[in-house]
Amino acid sequence: MQRILSTELARHTGETVTVAGWVHRRRLLKSVAFLIVRDAAGLTQVVVTEPELRARVEELGEESVVELTGTVTANPAAPAGAELTAPVLRVLSAVGVPLPFDLHRPALSATLPTQLDHAALSLRHPSRATALRIAAAATAGFRATLERRRFVEIHTPKIVAAATESGANVFALDYFGRPAYLAQSPQFYKQLMVGVFERVYEVGPVFRAEPHDTARHLAQYTSLDAELGFIADHRDVMAVLTEVVAGMTATVAERTGAAVPTVPAEIPAVHFAEALRIAGAPADEPDLAPAHERALGEWALREHGSEFVFVTGYPMRKRPFYTHPQPSDPVWSNSFDLLFRGLELVTGGQRLHRHADYEAALAARGEPAAAYRGYLDAFRYGMPPHGGFAIGLERFVARVTGAANVREVTAFPRDLHRITP
Amino acid sequence: MQRILSTELARHTGETVTVAGWVHRRRLLKSVAFLIVRDAAGLTQVVVTEPELRARVEELGEESVVELTGTVTANPAAPAGAELTAPVLRVLSAVGVPLPFDLHRPALSATLPTQLDHAALSLRHPSRATALRIAAAATAGFRATLERRRFVEIHTPKIVAAATESGANVFALDYFGRPAYLAQSPQFYKQLMVGVFERVYEVGPVFRAEPHDTARHLAQYTSLDAELGFIADHRDVMAVLTEVVAGMTATVAERTGAAVPTVPAEIPAVHFAEALRIAGAPADEPDLAPAHERALGEWALREHGSEFVFVTGYPMRKRPFYTHPQPSDPVWSNSFDLLFRGLELVTGGQRLHRHADYEAALAARGEPAAAYRGYLDAFRYGMPPHGGFAIGLERFVARVTGAANVREVTAFPRDLHRITP
């Protein structure tokens, strides 16, 4: 018999159906036993009165996988508005060991390290599973928004010959006897692909050998990258990003029902120099400290009713060499951060697009152009003005759900101490 | 002025518009010069008669990035059905070096290694760009088909503690001073996630330290993975795969106009023992040789009018330890390969789902269960019967387009000899 999901139960009242799932909970009362079965959609209550079946149910460990065929009987008190009665039980996988923690309580009581040690189990808890459903929905919203704007999906190498970008914090590997590195971002590749498709995006893993053990850093995370050509400046990138974040939150709300922040049609933007003034920071500060970002978040909410705020024009010396300077004053850059509730959510900006500008930028920083040759060569062959951004998926989900630690919203996190499961 | 694409030109006849793109070609006739500008959508013909502008056009290297504002004039002979006249030219990026090969000819004349050395340039050629658009469309079709069937997207670790699966051919890396490996597949993780969402998929890179230099192996490729629970056996997996391949080819046809094979509603399936007989191979052959696969492809086309054929039941000893045996005769397995035009396209099957079965399978192969502990523990906590498949994206695109070498359809391939660009 074709299996139905718990959420389909009520519309089969009076019929014989099969449900299947995990033993979420058993309530063994004197005259009756209730077996609560969890499937991907929700919970089904199964009523057990027959003594022989009750004996089998008493033996069943929680999280055993079962299949039950029975009659659907209306019961407004049951989780699905109906329950299964007179069931026939088939055990698909019996659990014979005690669980390291309960899954049927509203919150997981185990510590985060214990949850992560038993990720295959803890992720079954609604609080953990919902975060991953939110991540999936956010990713779908990212893609759909960009596809509508004719961005093309790309897949780029994760093994690279040179430790570029920040230089530090790269994982080294043995590539057929030669040294190689795990890519810290698809930055250079997505830029090159602007020369092919004008507008590209990639969803993929990036790797940082992050030596700090914090609540927001992972050694591997999922980066949602976009890059587009034929822009006037970074403001064209900010307009696309605004649309993308709105598409992500709308898809999260639609698919998961989670509460999401309102993304204004135009997110307030403030130049770095002005941001320092608003935050009460000295005018010669080279970057925004966490307290400054919080102050800007409060300012945006107070003055513009927005939980989001763009800070633009960060000092060139604090941005990577490929950043495009602000034409009116090259001390500043055509870059931006998007802050959400006073925390950095996305970084982006306009990039250099002329070969000579790259050579000058590297020379000014004392970096040898040779290390970037494969990348720079492409700029000899005609690249349009372009820019883009990267959204860290796990950090985005943590900010939207209010999770204190990015590991709570990552299926199998990798960090300084953790490489299993 | 807002830029329009080449394909939008004809509907602006008589208006002043701006187009932008790459100098694809120049035709310098005596009384007139034609500048052919390529953008992401196609080509625009620009008519240059004014002597000063002509002098500037003569200076322009191919692939220079330009912006042109002019009047749209109907011309059925022009690529877009209209051309741009009386243009004003703005050069966004001038190319001052000769190109290593021409992009405006119908086929790239450079050898494949030269194309790959200059990937940022060669990928701009329609033949190469189209293959990547086909890959993007195939991926979109994969996701859309699975989302409709309530599969949830996941992201799993690419850095793992143990070299599992095939054991050999893994890349080793230094993980904060400890040995670690690049994941050869998301196999174990997607299985564990069946315990959370019942049905999951992942699109991501996988890594093989492939020591052979062949036309179909890469050190990194994009794997389209799916896994589903609560199946009766491998035939439920084959039904989903059939739908997925049909969804992929349909999306490729719809988005790119490429010719795609017809996927039958039910792909013919033949058991391994029968496949050997059809291929004229000895009954004790442990695997299908390429000649056998070709013979099966011909048989399926002849007998069933299908370019696709499933071979099921491969001998257990040729399949990985997590493979579920055929219940009626455990010499065979509940696994399958999908052949397309006589070549293996997809591998999949039912997996073991009980902890004790895993322990027995590893013991029978003399493999220590300890190496798989994090993976196996999950099976103590209740896993449903499940199975899945993995599609190599680049190989799929090569088969559909008829490319002789998988590198022709990969943006920046990685292999034994190549790690740049």
User: Does residue A165 have a pLDDT over 70?
Assistant: no
Average confidence (pLDDT) over B219-241:
98
Give me A5's structure tokens.
């999901």
CA A173, CA A183: separation in Å to the nearest integer? 11
CA B391, CA B242: separation in Å to the nearest integer? 12
pLDDT, tens digit (0-9, with 9 covering 90-100), for A308-348: 999 999 999 999 999 999 999 999 999 999 999 999 999 99
User: Does the annotation list B59 as a binding residue?
Assistant: no
User: Does the annotation list A301 as a binding residue?
Assistant: no
Average confidence (pLDDT) over A407-418:
97
Under a CB-based contact definition with an 8 Å cutoff, are residues A17 and A54 in contact? no
Average confidence (pLDDT) over B125-140:
97
Q: What is the pLDDT of residue B165?
A: 57
Q: Name the residue of chain B whose CA is nearest to A413's CA.
A: B157
User: Does the annotation list A351 as a binding residue?
Assistant: yes
Report the amino acid identity of residue A249.
T
Bigger pLDDT: A269 or A79?
A: A269
Best mutation target among B65, B95, B125 (most A Cβ atoms within 10 Å) is B65
Q: Name the residue of chain A whose CA is nearest to B192's CA.
A: A120
Q: Helix H segments across A152-186?
A: none
Among A174, A209, A411, whose Cβ lies nearest the Cβ of B176?
A: A209
Query: Is the CB of B222 less than 8 angstroms away from the CB of A155?
Result: yes
What residues contact B229, with CB distance under 8 A and at least 6 apart?
A: B194, B195, B198, B199, B383, B384, B385, B386
What is the 3-state composition of chain A as percent helix, strand, coil, each rounded to the nearest 5? 35, 25, 40
Reported as a pLDDT band with limits 50, 70 and 90, residue A162 is: confident
Q: What interface predicted TM-score (ipTM) does this complex get?
A: 0.97
Token pair 């034609």 is at which residue? B34
CA A193, CA A198: separation in Å to the nearest integer? 7
Question: Cα(first)–Cα(last) distance of chain A, in Å?
Answer: 36
Question: Cα(first)–Cα(last) distance of chain B, in Å?
Answer: 36
In chain B, residues with a C-beta closer than 8 Å to the C-beta of A65 are 353, 382-384
Query: Is the CB of B353 less than 8 angstroms away from the CB of A175?
Result: no
Among B139, B171, B197, whose Cβ lies nearest the Cβ of A153?
A: B139
Query: Is the CB of A161 less than 8 angstroms away from the CB of B420?
Result: yes
Under a CB-based contact definition with an 8 Å cutoff, are residues B182 and B173 in contact? yes
Q: Name the residue of chain B whose CA is nearest to A42's CA.
A: B197
CA B249, CA B262: separation in Å to the nearest integer? 8
User: Does the annotation list B347 as a binding residue?
Assistant: yes
Reported as a pLDDT band with limits 50, 70 and 90, residue B278 is: very high
pLDDT, tens digit (0-9, with 9 covering 90-100), for B92-130: 999 999 999 999 999 999 999 999 999 999 999 999 999
Q: What is the pLDDT of residue B290?
A: 95
**∠ CA(B393), CA(B396), CA(B398), 5° rounding?**
110
Average confidence (pLDDT) over A8-17:
97
Best mutation target among A7, A97, A412, A416 (most B Cβ atoms within 10 Å) is A412
Reported as a pLDDT band with limits 50, 70 and 90, residue B373 is: confident
Q: Name the residue of chain B whose CA is nearest to A182's CA.
A: B173
Query: Is the CB of A382 less than 8 angstroms away from the CB of B180?
Result: no
Average confidence (pLDDT) over A12-26:
97
Under a CB-based contact definition with an 8 Å cutoff, are residues A189 and A201 in contact? no
User: Does the annotation list B392 as a binding residue?
Assistant: yes
Among B63, B171, B412, whose Cβ lies nearest the Cβ of A173?
A: B171
Among B3, B123, B209, whose Cβ lies nearest the Cβ of A230?
A: B3
Under a CB-based contact definition with an 8 Å cutoff, are residues B42 and B81 in contact? no
Q: What is the pLDDT of residue B367?
A: 86
Please choose, from the candidates A163, A213, A215, A220, the residue with its C-alpha nearest in 3D space to the C-alpha of residue A187: A163
Give me A240's structure tokens.
């696309």
Among A118, A180, A189, whose Cβ lies nearest the Cβ of B412?
A: A189
Reported as a pLDDT band with limits 50, 70 and 90, residue B162 is: confident
User: Does residue A23 have a pLDDT over 70?
Assistant: yes
Q: Name the residue of chain B whose CA is nearest to A122's CA.
A: B196
What residues contact B364, with CB distance under 8 A and at least 6 apart?
A: none
Average confidence (pLDDT) over B297-319:
97
Q: Name the residue of chain B whose CA is nearest to A176's CA.
A: B416
pLDDT, tens digit (0-9, with 9 covering 90-100), for A100-126: 999 999 999 999 999 999 999 999 999
Topology at the third CATH level for domain A6-93: OB fold (Dihydrolipoamide Acetyltransferase, E2P) (2.40.50)
CA B124, CA B130: separation in Å to the nearest integer? 9
Q: What Cα–Cα distance (Å) separates residue A215 from each residue in A210, A394, B100, B177, B228?
A: 12, 11, 49, 22, 33
Ranges in chain B annotated CATH 3.30.930.10: 121-409
In chain B, residues with a C-beta closer than 8 Å to the C-beta of A22 are 195, 382
Query: Is the CB of B189 less than 8 angstroms away from the CB of A230?
Result: no
Q: What is the pLDDT of residue B80?
A: 83
Q: What is the pLDDT of residue A196?
A: 98
Tell me what the pLDDT averaged over chain B comes to: 96
Cα B110 to chain centroid distance, Å, stands at 23
User: Does residue A166 have a pLDDT over 80?
Assistant: no
Q: Name the residue of chain A whose CA is nearest to B3's CA.
A: A230
Q: What is the pLDDT of residue A167?
A: 60
Topology at the third CATH level for domain A121-409: BirA Bifunctional Protein; domain 2 (3.30.930)
Q: Give the full edge-to-edge strand order of the sheet including A386-392.
A: A152-153, A199-207, A220-229, A386-392, A343-351, A335-340, A308-312, A269-271
Distance from CA of A66 to the nearest CA of B (A): 8
Give me A69's structure tokens.
């065929």
Distance from CA of B11 to the nearest CA of A (A): 19
Among A159, A380, A419, whose Cβ lies nearest the Cβ of B419?
A: A159
Please choose, from the candidates A78, A61, A62, A59, the residue with its C-alpha nearest in 3D space to the C-alpha of residue A70: A78
CA B251, CA B79: separation in Å to the nearest integer? 26
Q: What is the pLDDT of residue B210?
A: 87
Is residue A300 classed as helix, strand or coil in its secondary structure?
Answer: helix
pLDDT, tens digit (0-9, with 9 covering 90-100), for B394-407: 999 999 999 999 99
Of chain A, the percentage scoring pLDDT greater than 90 comes to 93
Ranges in chain A annotated CATH 2.40.50.140: 6-93
Report the amino acid identity of residue A409.
V
pLDDT, tens digit (0-9, with 9 covering 90-100), for A41-64: 999 999 999 999 999 999 999 999
A vs B, Cβ pairs < 8 A, gives: 235
Reported as a pLDDT band with limits 50, 70 and 90, residue B212 is: confident
Query: Is the CB of B118 less than 8 angstroms away from the CB of A209?
Result: no
